[in-house]
Amino acid sequence: MCLSIAANRSLLGAAFVTLLSVAATAAAEAPAPGQCELVAFVDETDPAGLNVRAQPSVNARIVGKLPPVWVDQADGARVRVRTEVIGASKGWFKIRNSADEEQLTERPARPTYAGEGWVSGRKLIVKAQTGAGRIRPDTSAPIGLQLKDDRLFDSRDFARAGTLVDCEGGWVQMEFVDAKIPAEIRSSLDIAPEARTGLPRGRFRLWLDRICGSQETSCDGF
C-alpha cells in the first residue's frame, strides 16, 4: 500500500510539473499586453511632419520626424508613410522601420526617421479588413459590433470616426465616436453595451484584427 501511495504521489507530482511547463510555454508564446506586431500608416497633415519621441509623452525628447500625408494634386490620391508598430502605452504607440512609399508617389523618397520611437495613436490609421469588432483581442471573445452589408472597419467612414488606443499582438483597439459615423450607417449599428463600458456617452471601443499592411490594395489570406 505504501508503495502504491508513493507511486501515486510521484505521478501527481509529474503531472503538476507538466501542467506548469505547459502554462509557462503558453505564457511565453502569448503576446504581453501592450506588445504588438502590425503595420500602420501615418495620418499627419501638418506640413512640418510628425514628431517621433523617445518616450510615450508629449514632453519627451524628439528623436526624429515622419513626413506628412502626400497628396497627388492631380487626382487627390493620398499616400501615407508606412510604419511597424511594436508596442503601446496609454494611447501612444512604439514604432520602427518607417518608410516613405515612393513606389506609390512615384517621387524620390522623403527623409524619414526609421529608428524606434513613440507617436500618438491619433496620428496613425490601420486597415482592419474585418467586419467584426470584439470586446477582447481574441477570436472567441464576444462581438461588440458586427457590421452589415459586407462593410469592413477599414472603410473611410470608420477610419475617420475612430482613434487607435491600444494594441496586442496583431490586434488593435479603437475608440469610435458615434457622431463621426455617417447617420445612414450609424442608425443600423447594433453596438453591445460592453463596448461602451467606462466611456463617455457617445463612444465605444472595439478590438479589431486582420490588419493589412498595404495601403494601396487589400491583403489576401484573411
- Give the C-alpha separation, 189 to 184, whole Å: 10
* Cell numbers standing for residue 126: 490601420
Domain total for the chain?
Answer: 3
Task: Grade residue 141 by pLDDT with cuts at 50, 70 and 90.
Answer: very high
pTM higher than 0.85, yes or no? no
Are residues 107 and 176 located together in one domain of the fold? no
Q: What percent of the chain has pLDDT over 90?
A: 74
Q: What is residue 221's predicted lDDT score, i.e. its pLDDT?
A: 63
- Give the C-alpha separation, 126 to 170, whole Å: 11
The answer to whether residue 110 is domain-embedded is yes
Domain that holds residue 7: 1-30
Lowest mean pLDDT among 82-86, 99-103, 117-121, 195-199: 99-103
Q: What is residue 222's predicted lDDT score, i.e. its pLDDT?
A: 61
Are residues 95 and 44 located together in one domain of the fold? yes
Task: Grade residue 23 by pLDDT with cuts at 50, 70 and 90.
Answer: very low
The answer to whether residue 221 is domain-embedded is no
Give the mean model confidence (pLDDT) for residues 157-176.
96
The answer to whether residue 222 is domain-embedded is no
